[in-house]
Structure formats: C-alpha cells, structure tokens
Amino acid sequence: MKAQTQAVSAVMITGIMVGTIAAVYVWGTPLLEKRESQAELNQIENDIVGLKDEIESVSNSGSGSGSEIDIRINTGDVTVNEDQNYIEIVTDEHSTYSEDAWTLLEGNNLQGLSIGSGEYGIKGQETPGVVAATAEAEGERAKYRVEFRTLQDERLDDPIMELIDLESIGSETSSGETVISITNQGTETDENEVEIETDASGGERLDLERTRVRVDLQ
C-alpha cells in the first residue's frame, strides 16, 4: 500500500512538473520573443539617431570630413531619396508606431519636411534634421526616416536659406545590415534659389547655402 501511494505521488508530481513547464513555454515564449524584438528595435533606433547626429556633425566639420555608421538590421532596406532629402530605413521588425502618423524620435516638429507642412523651417526654432518613425501597417514593419530641411537664418543682416543636402553615390538602396559612409563635399551657394512670402507684394528670393553631404551605402 505504501509503495502504491508513493507511485501515485510520483505520477502527480510528474504531472504537475509537466504542466508547469508547458505553461511556462506557452506563456513565456511569446513574452521572451516580444522582449527580444523590442530590444532589436531599440538597437536599430539608436543606430538611426546616431546616423542623424553624425551627418550633422560631419556637415559642421568642413569639407573633406567624413564618418561611417553601421545600421544593424537583419532584414529590411536602406534607401536614399535625394529629391526629398532623406534616408529611409525599413525593417521587418514589428513596429509599435501608428501607421496613420509619423512619430518624432529626434527633432522638434515636422515643419518644412516631406512628411510635414510648409517649405522651410526657421533656424533656432527648428532643428536641421529629424528622425521620425511610422509603420507600413498596424503592427507590421517599422519605417524610419532621417530627413533634413531647409532653414531660414533670420539672424543675419542679409537672411539666407541653409540646407544639409544629401547626395547619393552608387546604389540608392541597400538590403540588410548596411554601412553608411558620409563625406562633407563642401558648401555651395545657389543665388536667389528659394522664394519666401513677405509683407511686400510678390515675396522675396533668398540665396540657398547648401552643405553637400555625400552618402554611400555599403
């Protein structure tokens, strides 16, 4: 009888252990995967914010200065859009952002951007560049942009417009982990390039001072 009781107890303990392990697997695995995915997104976002900061640093460091940034995505694409002056990073990691709006990770507003309103920002009020995030669809792939806008410098006796101007060389798109090489190609001035609204009829045209930053995807 004692042996029979011990056998029943052993079976019960084994059943409890199996049930506990199964519960941990069923409930714990999705939680672990979610944490790992969020950790990967955090790392990607740190790389992207670092890219924006490094471009601004290189643009302020004079002609010939340069740097490299590693964008560590397992699957996804990096694209340079010269016309709208941004670098876009899309990763297959699921986004926590809304598909209906852009969320600013760096920068103070969307003024003067392709995803905002207006043609330019004001130096001292808006930052030269921003990092913004959205989703291709709710809960689907995350999409990021590092974009630079034209700024009006009103503090000068003769106001001008300024821009960190991205120029792609080689391929405009890269897949997976990508090293982005950036080089300051010097500053050029386009006379009477940007028209702004003024109190006077017909507005006013200002010179555009472009700091040319070459972008090479490797």
In DSSP notation, 76-110 reads EEEEEETTTTEEEEEEEEEP-S-SSSPEEEESS--
Per-residue pLDDT tens for 139-190?
688 999 999 999 999 887 788 999 999 999 999 999 999 999 999 999 999 9
Which residues sit opposite 164 in a β-bridge? 211
- How much is the average pLDDT of 24-39? 54
The answer for 33, left when phi > 0, alpha when psi is -120 to 50, beta otherwise, is: alpha
Q: In this model, does residue 5 exceed pLDDT 60? A: no
More confident site: 112 or 14: 112
Domain ranges in the chain are 2-217
Q: How far is CA 129 from CA 3, 43, 104, 146, 147, in A?
A: 76, 20, 11, 7, 5
Q: How far apart are CA 23 and CA 159, in angstroms?
A: 67
Q: Are 130 and 104 in contact (CB under 8 A)?
A: yes
Per-residue pLDDT tens for 148-162?
999 999 887 788 999
Per-residue pLDDT tens for 123-134?
999 999 999 999
- How much is the average pLDDT of 1-29? 58
pLDDT of residue 158: 81
Residue with tokens 């940034």, as numbered in its chain: 69
The model's confidence at residue 81, banded by pLDDT at 50, 70 and 90, is very high
